[in-house]
Amino acid sequence: MSHLASILVLLLKIQATKSCAGVSLKTQELYAIVFLTRYLDLFTNFVSLYVEWNRWKGETQNRRSGTNAVKQRLTAKLASDATDTYCWIFRSYNTIMKLIFIGSALAIIWLMRRHKVVRQSYDKSQDTFRYEFLLAPCFLLSLVLNNMFTVMEVLWTFSIYLEAVAILPQMVLLQRTRNVDNLTGNYVFLLGAYRALYILNWIYRYYTEPGYRQWLVWLSGIVQTAVYCDFFYYYIQSWKNNEKLQLPA
């Protein structure tokens, strides 16, 4: 939820101020690539809410209007499908969240590139990070270090590696401009907090779930959190001293 909150904060900033000053388009494009390559399963495991709702509705109507024998069979079937129903709800939630992440990332990019007012505030001269130097190593690494050498698995692994460093263009931009407005600072903080909270979740699962091991994800998460450490320090200092956030050049 911290990740979703960070996106909402960024959209709020752009919508309220009609400005994307201090926001790195390079980072937003990297996150769009992360989401698009990670959530390719949307095309293979799509959950249709309309179809499932009508199936459940039809079974309920049959149970109400049928004979006792039919009612008993349908009741038993519905009871046995309870676990499947919970799984379907979980899958539906995941599908919706994936679509939100992809849609919001593309919407932010569109606002920064195409909105006639917002795009004028984008400082292209400062946002010059060469992100191809992130894309190429992450992709090559995903070809070598992955859990299974398939297209879906390699692209999923690539998204994990890329997410760990996707914030770097944003960090470089903030260091160049130095003064960071509150909403941009909160956006970056929430992004970092999301991954830090994941590490706590991994630690808990490691001690409570026998055999739980995800070395590639763990390593990427640690790297990603380390990237934020310097920002966290100055963010907390500015909050404690009630001062405007400033990063060293």
* pLDDT per position as a tens digit, 30-43: 999 999 999 988 87
What's the rounded Cα separation, in Å, for the pair 25 and 114?
12
Q: How confident is the model at residue 242 (pLDDT cuts 50, 70, 90)?
A: confident
Structure confidence at residue 57 as a pLDDT band (50, 70, 90)? low
Burial of residue 48 (CB within 10 Å: 0-12, 13-18, 19+) is: exposed
- The answer on pLDDT for 48 being more than 50 is no
Angle 177-178-181 from CA coordinates, rounded to 5°: 90
Q: Measured between alpha carbons, how far is 44 from 16 in angstroms, rounded to an integer?
A: 37
- Average pLDDT on 140-162 reads 95
- Rounded CA gap, 70 and 209, in Å? 42
Mean pLDDT of 55-74: 53
| Of residues 228, 185, 3, the one with CA closest to residue 104 | 3
- For residues 220 and 38, give the distance between their C-alpha atoms in angstroms, rounded to a whole number: 14
The model's confidence at residue 211, banded by pLDDT at 50, 70 and 90, is confident
Counting every residue written for the chain, the total comes to 249
Specify which of 69-78, 172-181, 228-237 reaches the highest per-range mean pLDDT: 228-237
